Structure 1
Amino acid sequence: ISIPPKYAVSQIVGYLKGKSAIHVARQYMGKQKNFTGLHFWARGYYVSTAGHDEEVIRQYIKRHEEIDKKIDQLGLFK
């Protein structure tokens, strides 16, 4: 997507992730309210301002999948 300079990238990404997570919860999980505690998206995001480099994107995704697995494993001990 293209974001006008007057908007912060973090604002747009947060908005898109938030609204899409609510849509998924309503559409596929049958939730209408009380979305607290649900985690659909990973915490981070990738932004490229100079073009697309497929290998960099693949490495980013792989690294964050590994981080997410570690976080999930730590949650088992709570």
Structure 2
Amino acid sequence: MAYRGGCHTTFHHRYHLVWAPKYRFKVLHGEVRLRVREIIRQVCDEMGVTIVNGALSCDHVHMFVEIPPHVSVSDFVRRAKGRSSCKIQQEFEHIRKRYWGQRFWLRGYFSTTSGNITADIIMRYLDRHTHKNGFSPSA
């Protein structure tokens, strides 16, 4: 287990996050999938969030991330979902027509710390579900 540090902190905060498009429509494929992946990576870079592993299935986003103490989980998810929803609907007309109410993602999300189950179990699960367009750091 590797700890990260800031000016006044040392931490190891890892979260298992899952959220889905509204109605669980299978829209995360092709160019949409690549763009969602890119947007979420940009948000992670801006907020100092490290992607440990992740997968983009056709109907949900699944991530294992390390979030610094000054960033709340809800702020990270809010920004990732909000920015990706806005940009996806601006850039892809078929998505804008399907989600005419301007809400791309379901309202909530699933979050748990890696303390409930080991990080190794989460990593194995994500590795089984990672596609070539997953969030793994080496991709």
Select the residue among 85, 104, 127 that pairs with 1:21.
85
Q: Which runs of 4+ in 1 moved over 4 A?
A: none
Aligned equivalent of 1:8: 72
- The answer as to 2:123 corresponding to 1:46 is no
Which has the higher relative contact order, 1 or 2, with Cα contacts under 8 A spaced 6 or more apart?
2
Q: TM-score, normalised by structure 2?
A: 0.31
In the alignment, structure 1 segments of 5+ residues that lack a partner are: 31-36, 55-78
Residue type of the alignment partner of 2:107: R
The aligned amino acid for 1:15 is: R
Please give the secondary structure, in 2, of the residue aligned with 1:48: strand
The total of aligned residue pairs comes to 49
Task: Give the superposed CA RMSD.
Answer: 2.3
Aligned identity (percent) is 34
**Aligned positions of 1:56-67 closer than 5 A:** none
Runs (5+) with no aligned partner, structure 2: 1-64, 95-100, 126-139
